[in-house]
Amino acid sequence: MTAAPGGSETVTRAFRVAYDGREYAGFQRQPHARTVADELLEALAEHGLVERGDGSTHATPPGYAAAGRTDAGVSAVAQTVAFEAPTWLTPRAFNGHLPGSVRVWAAADVEDGFHATHDAVRRTYRYHLYAPAADAAGADGPAASARRDPEHAIDDDRFRAALARFDGERDFHNLTTDETGTVRDLDARATREGDALVVELSADGFPRALVRRVVAAVRAVGRGTADLAWIDRLLAAEPVSGRRGVGPAPPEPLVLWDVAYPDASFAVDREAAESARVAFGERHRDARHAAAATGAVRDRLCSAIDGE
């Protein structure tokens, strides 16, 4: 523990940050675009901890780093930022100058020299894929969803067989634009939750857009528009480009779910976590209201078609 100018004591503190990424151009600061990092640094400026800047020119506190650089539209529940902070900067204090779309909810005091990027040993993402089961029985629920949205219907067995191809240590050079760091030991699994398949991918690190390209490839097999041989081709040593490659799935269903550090024990700030739960509950409610309206229009059109 050290003393900051003005006499306040400081520690190296890591914060867990949840955010709704749909309205941001990603996490990392960039010119002429609003990012999650901008919100965090602006809050620190409001607290008088860093000099205020403009856009990507905000100053950062000593030791500042983040666990990952999520893309535009991607959300998080356990993004982690760490820096030298005054002891009074708790999650609830941090939230005092943050919008409802960005909430800090836990913290851990860590050793000096801790680096939120380099000290992470495991990162986990979850992709919430809308994928009604193609073989579901019954007139309501998933079967009805598959009938209304046949282009999104998924054969679960094909989907899981394709996902299993990505499990283990692989060279993912055909599934990212990165030229280095493409060999990763990936844990891949999927859980059905109603009309959704929740795809969970964990590794020590992820090349650019790897998660979304894996989801897109597996979805193509689950829909029957590609086969397992294509997955094997994507994982082969030979480059794949052009129309035989795979583009990334949309970013909005993706969440940075967890980041593991061997020597950090995060304490949940109950007041901050509750404020985050309320804020995200309101955003979820608003999204469901919008979805209900568009779903009603879709259902009316389905009825009109069936009635012909």
What amino acid positions are annotated as catalytic residues?
Answer: 71
Contact 169, 235 (CB under 8 A): no
Structure tokens at 66: 């983040």
Give yes or no for a contact between 138 and 264, defined as CB atoms under 8 angstroms apart.
no
Closest by Cα among 161, 134, 158 to 148: 134
**Token pair of 183, please?**
């060999």
- Strands 168-171, 183-193: pairing kind: antiparallel
Residue 253 gets which letter from DSSP?
Answer: T
Q: C-alpha distances in angstroms, 284 versus 251, 271, 281, 290, 291?
A: 17, 20, 5, 10, 10
- CA-atom Rg of the chain in angstroms: 22
